[in-house]
């Protein structure tokens, strides 16, 4: 093919038969030979790659895939940010949100509480249930009868609910058990039901 193109180029340039000297023919023969050699080498290389025991494709790296290798189980109450980002679908942003929320709660008592982390898809939690466990669970109780105003904070109760309870405690003293909370006027018992696993009724 290349030899034919060269011949056409010579003709297009206006070089006649008399100018197509022996030197030109030698040149064309050389071009043809180079093309044949290249074709043989191409076939030879392809064959060698298929047959050689030393030919292996380049290994697939984890570049661009984060640290997500094989699924593994983690303790959601002790895992640090590195452990979280090792899970597929969790980046530094979500890892930070999980740790902050966990600290505010005082620990997770259920894997399903992860669904409450802002922006974290509940589908992700459902799909990764087998790799998540609460370990020892809650690590800090909410000491209902001991905490003062500045420390009476929890994600499950609002500022208004905290205010109502503290006013009641100041007037009636310590609360002995959860059912006593149901007697407090204006208290949203549904909110306190969520808080129930964290409650500690120890007195001063």
CA distance 40 to 33: 11
Q: Which of 82, 110, 133 is the last residue of a domain?
A: 133
CA distance 114 to 108: 8
Count: domains in the chain: 2
Task: Tell me which residues of the chain have a pLDDT lower than 70.
Answer: 1-71
CA distance 192 to 168: 15
pLDDT of residue 12: 43
| Helix, strand, coil distribution of the chain in percent, nearest 5 | 50, 5, 45
Residue 102: which CATH number?
Answer: 1.10.150.280
Q: What is the DSSP secondary-structure string of 79-140? A: --HHHHHTSTT--HHHHHHHHHHHHHHTS-SSGGGGGGSTT--HHHHHHTGGGEE-TT---S
pLDDT of residue 25: 56
> Whole domain around residue 120: which residue ranges?
74-133
- Do 121 and 170 share a domain, yes or no? no
pLDDT of residue 37: 53
CA distance 19 to 14: 9
pTM comes to 0.65
Residue 157: which CATH number?
Answer: 1.10.150
Q: Is residue 171 part of a domain?
A: yes
pLDDT of residue 65: 42
- Do 151 and 113 share a domain, yes or no? no
Task: Give, in order, the Cα–Cα distances in Å from 22 to each of 2, 13, 14, 18, 27.
Answer: 18, 18, 17, 10, 9
- Do 91 and 122 share a domain, yes or no? yes
Neighbours of 194 (CB within 10 A): 15
Cα atoms in the 13 Å half-sphere on the side-chain side of 65:
8
pLDDT of residue 34: 53
CA distance 48 to 167: 85
Would you say 1 and 35 are in contact if contact means Cβ atoms under 8 Å apart? yes
- Do 147 and 190 share a domain, yes or no? yes
pLDDT of residue 83: 96
Q: Which two tokens stand for residue 123?
A: 């589908």
The pair phi, psi for residue 53, each rounded to 5°, is -75, -15
């Amino acid at each position: 093919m290349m030899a034919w193109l060269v011949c056409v180029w010579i003709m297009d340039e206006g070089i006649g038969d008399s100018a197509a000297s022996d030197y030109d023919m030698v040149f064309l023969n050389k071009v043809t030979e180079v093309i044949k050699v290249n074709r043989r080498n191409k076939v030879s290389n392809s064959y060698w790659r298929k047959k050689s025991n030393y030919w292996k494709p380049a290994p697939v790296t984890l570049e661009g895939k984060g640290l997500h290798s094989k699924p593994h189980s983690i303790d959601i109450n002790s895992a640090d940010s590195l452990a979280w980002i090792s899970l597929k679908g969790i980046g530094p942003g979500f890892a930070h949100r999980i740790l902050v929320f966990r600290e505010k709660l005082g620990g997770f008592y259920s894997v399903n509480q992860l669904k409450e982390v802002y922006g974290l898809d509940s589908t992700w939690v459902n799909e990764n249930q087998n790799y998540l466990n609460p370990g020892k669970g809650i690590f800090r109780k909410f000491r209902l009868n001991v905490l003062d105003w500045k420390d009476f904070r929890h994600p499950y109760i609002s500022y208004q609910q905290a205010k109502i309870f503290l006013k009641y405690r100041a007037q009636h003293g310590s609360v002995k058990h959860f059912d006593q909370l149901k007697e407090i006027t204006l208290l949203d018992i549904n909110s306190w039901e969520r808080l129930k696993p964290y409650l500690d009724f120890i007195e001063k």
